[in-house]
Amino acid sequence: MSTPRTGRPTTADPIATLRRRSSEKWVAYPSEVLPMFVAETDFPLAPAIRAALIEAVEIGDTGYVDSHDRGAAAAFAAYAADTWGWAADPDRMRCTTDVSVVIVEALRRLIEPGDGVVVTPPVYPPFFDFIPEAGGRVVEVPLRDDGREFSLDLIGIDAALADGARAVLLCNPHNPVGTVHSRETLIELARIVAAHDGVVVSDEIHAPLTHHATIFTPYLSVSDAAREHGITAESGSKAFNLAGLKCAMFATASDRMTQVMRSMPEEVTVRTGLFGVIATRAGFDDSRGWLDDTVTAIEDNVAVLEQQLATKLPQVVLRRPAASYLAWLDMTALGWGDDPADHALRHAKVALVRGLDFGEPGRGFARMNIGCAPETIVEAVDRLASVR
């Protein structure tokens, strides 16, 4: 189902407004540094979210979350049905603070201490910390790279599970490369995991930011096997820039995994931010047109970055992402060493995320956040190109 656009193009807030923010992106570095690192966007809040939060403040709705409230889950489930054709059941979902808690609390109940958990670098850096926090052991199976696109190494994952790994921590869409794994790939992954009696925890936080030419497939929608052994982490925090409000969701689709979710202490839900629940509901229920316009703005920014690099920094390789506002830059040819983000910060005053944080395949790479004004991208490339 397509969502009508608002007719109001999404544009970033003015830099003077952005610098009034107290979030990490705007306080971590001095004002002369262009912050393009952490995954926050520079866009204003969706009007419906802003209105819902203002109303909550005006009436003093600042108390505890009702652990039985399914409003955010129902809003997400309706969005998932309309957008992806996935009939998620709100009664098989549960709120918590953020995706990291979904991953850690799910793994704690799905693995035994010391069990191997497969990750697929280059991948979201906290994955390497979540697994030991949950009692597991990191098993790396890097993405396949054929020079055109990145994909899961299904043969490698099969071998890792055969060698004793218990779980796969999936990132879909994949941060930082922007790959949206195909339905066929996920069906095969589910078959492999089921053959080894394993489990999957899938981080799908960037899914609502899938670009228009690509189809996102929720892991729990692909097969009975996936539903039997999978738990997914869902959230509006990246789509609507709500990370500080603290709301994400466990999603399950089988009696087995629903029971795992329901076995968690009530405090896992009670710690959710009430503003996060309010904003998530307003986002998925009332801000779909805004989100569609935002994805268009991000796609336009990718084109701006491609053009700027081709003109001013042709040594830097960017493969067009299929989701989100993160650009994975191969900066090896610049000769800035294993950590070009450090060189960019020191010499160009542009803050990127260092590629090595995503694992060994990130050597010579950096991640750039382009959820910003096009002019910011132009300035960033100008600064980087000025470095000799």
What is the rounded distance in angstroms from the CA atom of residue 102 to the CA atom of residue 198?
A: 18
In this prediction, residue 202 carries a pLDDT of 98
In this prediction, residue 8 carries a pLDDT of 53
CATH architecture assigned to 56-286: 3-Layer(aba) Sandwich (3.40)
Among residues 274, 209, 290, which one has the least CA distance to residue 52?
Answer: 274
Q: In the chain, which residues fall in CATH 3.40.640.10? A: 56-286
Peptide bond into 122 cis (omega under 30): yes
In this prediction, residue 133 carries a pLDDT of 98
CATH of the domain spanning 15-44+288-385: 3.90.1150.10
| CA 113, chain centre distance (Å) | 27
In this prediction, residue 31 carries a pLDDT of 95
Among residues 221, 232, 234, which one has the least CA distance to residue 257?
Answer: 232
Answer yes or no: are the C-beta atoms of 110 and 201 closer than 8 Å.
Answer: yes
Residues 191-207 have pLDDT tens digits of: 999 999 999 999 999 99
pTM to 2 decimal places = 0.96
What is the rounded distance in angstroms from the CA atom of residue 75 to the CA atom of residue 89?
A: 11
Q: In the chain, which residues fall in CATH 3.90.1150.10? A: 15-44+288-385
Strand-strand pairing, 167-171 and 150-151? unpaired
Residues 199-234 have pLDDT tens digits of: 999 999 999 999 999 999 999 999 999 999 999 999
What is the rounded distance in angstroms from the CA atom of residue 317 to the CA atom of residue 309?
A: 8
DSSP 317: E
In this prediction, residue 388 carries a pLDDT of 72
Among residues 198, 154, 128, which one has the least CA distance to residue 362?
Answer: 128
In this prediction, residue 10 carries a pLDDT of 75
Helices (H), 24-136: 24-27, 47-58, 71-84, 99-110, 127-133
Answer yes or no: are the C-beta atoms of 171 and 92 closer than 8 Å.
Answer: no
In this prediction, residue 382 carries a pLDDT of 98
Cα–Cα distance list, 306 to 122, 283, 296, 300 (Å):
21, 30, 15, 10
The pLDDT tens digits along the chain (388 residues) read 344 455 455 789 999 999 999 999 999 999 999 999 999 999 999 999 999 999 999 999 999 999 999 999 999 999 999 999 999 999 999 999 999 999 999 999 999 999 999 999 999 999 999 999 999 999 999 999 999 999 999 999 999 999 999 999 999 999 999 999 999 999 999 999 999 999 999 999 999 999 999 999 999 999 999 999 999 999 999 999 999 999 999 999 999 999 999 999 999 999 999 999 999 999 999 999 999 999 999 999 999 999 999 999 999 999 999 999 999 999 999 999 999 999 999 999 999 999 999 999 999 999 999 999 999 999 999 999 999 7
